[in-house]
Copies of this chain bind each other. A is one copy, B any other.
Amino acid sequence: MIAIDYQSRTPIYVQLVDEIEKCIIKGQLKPDDQMPSIRELANELGINPNTVKKSYAELENKKIIKSVSTKGTFITTKIEEIVQNKIETSIQVIQREVEELKMLGLGFEDIKERIK
């Protein structure tokens, strides 16, 4: 369910944040679900608990999860925002690439075809 690329230049903790967000988007993690504990997830992925902790902190910052002491960590109900953010950043990325491709002489139709 969660794939980490240890060779990648993007930090593991960022990848983990992204992957967890994806799980929520996909519906594999639903609002009020309990997240796996830091140690548990760290063991499962074979990474350092500190790294998982950092990811959880990041997610809590973004109000995506909420840690309740002695109880655990839970998903909050923010799916729509995540989706919105995701869409916007994706659109931006595509926009930028499309513009660069246009500078290289490719028309919108060319791009469209090569993608399909």
Q: Which of A4-62 contact B (CB under 8 A)?
A: 6-7, 25-26, 61
How many copies of this chain are found per oligomer?
4
Q: A94-B97, A98-B115 are in contact. Are A6 and B68 (CB under 8 A)?
A: yes
List B contacts of A66 (CB < 8 A).
Answer: 7
Interface size on A, residues (CB 8 A): 29
Residues of B within 8 A of A106 (CB): 87
* Contact of A93 (CB < 8 Å), options: B61, B86, B97, B116: B97
Interface residues of chain A: helix, strand, loop or mixed (majority): helix
Cα A60 to Cα B95 with chains together (Å): 29
**Nearest residue, chain B, Cβ from A91:** B114
**A2 an interface residue at 8 Å Cβ cutoff?**
no
* Complex contact B68–A86 (CB within 8 A): no
CB distance from A58 to the nearest CB of B (A): 10
Of all A-B residue pairs in the complex, the 8 with the closest CB atoms, nearest first, are A90-B97, A94-B97, A91-B114, A90-B101, A94-B94, A93-B97, A83-B104, A95-B115
30 pairs across A/B with beta carbons < 8 Å?
A: A6-B68, A6-B71, A7-B66, A7-B68, A25-B103, A25-B104, A26-B103, A61-B61, A86-B100, A86-B104, A87-B101, A87-B104, A90-B97, A90-B100, A90-B101, A91-B101, A91-B111, A91-B114, A91-B115, A93-B93, A93-B94, A93-B97, A94-B94, A94-B97, A94-B98, A94-B111, A94-B115, A98-B115, A108-B116, A112-B112
